[in-house]
């Protein structure tokens, strides 16, 4: 399938986080008009600006003909299926799906900002992203090796 290349960050720290993340990867692979291209390893990280247990994180690359808005609605539906609730900002969660990149587009709407505004500050995004797309160029950002150097003090462990 030729389509839009999208990278999605996945995280969970409630319930069985490993099952939630692997289940989300499977769900993304079953989305209509979408092909799961690559999935990173799973990583364990401590919460940043949040409470709760450690997170399990991953990043996937998909190819899709869905628009950014349609894909966002599909991601919200997957989160809901996994019991996602939003009681307060940065609350622990059964599943968090963040659209990180959509092609090389820069998008800013009421519900969606692409590239994801904090992705370059988080090892739990950059390390798995570098695993599956080591040569990726993030729009309006420095090269990936420089971004990785900036987050090297954030603990992250491959599971």
Point out the catalytic residue in the list 54, 93, 122, 150: 93
Round to whole Å and give the CA distance between 37 and 25.
Answer: 11
Whether residue 96 lies in the annotated active site: yes
Long-range Cβ contact pairs of 142-149 (< 8 A, separation 24 or more): 147/120, 148/123
Place of tokens 């919200």: 76
Round to whole Å and give the CA distance between 25 and 8.
Answer: 10
Point out the catalytic residue in the list 33, 84, 89, 105: 84
Whether residue 49 lies in the annotated active site: no
Round to whole Å and give the CA distance between 6 and 98.
Answer: 11
Residue 2: exposure state from Cβ atoms within 10 A (0-12, 13-18, ≥19):
exposed
Whether residue 84 lies in the annotated active site: yes
Point out the catalytic residue in the list 30, 54, 96, 105: 96
Point out the catalytic residue in the list 98, 105, 118, 135: 98
Whether residue 44 lies in the annotated active site: no
Q: Would you please indicate which residues are annotated as catalytic (active-site) residues?
A: 84, 93, 96, 98
């Amino acid at each position: 399938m030729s389509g839009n290349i999208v990278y999605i960050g996945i995280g969970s720290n409630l319930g069985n986080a490993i099952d939630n993340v692997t289940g989300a990867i499977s769900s993304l692979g079953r989305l209509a008009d979408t092909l799961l291209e690559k999935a990173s390893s799973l990583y364990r990280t401590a919460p940043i600006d949040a409470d709760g247990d450690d997170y399990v994180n991953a990043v996937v690359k998909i190819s899709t003909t869905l628009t950014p808005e349609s894909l966002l609605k599909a991601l919200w539906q997957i989160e809901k299926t996994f019991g996602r609730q939003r009681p307060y900002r940065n609350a622990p969660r059964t599943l968090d799906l963040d659209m990180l990149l959509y092609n090389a587009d820069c998008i800013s709407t009421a519900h969606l900002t692409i590239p994801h505004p904090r992705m370059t500050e988080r090892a739990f995004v950059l390390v798995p992203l570098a695993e599956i797309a080591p040569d990726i160029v993030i729009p309006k950002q420095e090269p990936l090796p420089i971004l990785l150097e900036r987050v090297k003090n954030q603990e992250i462990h491959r599971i």
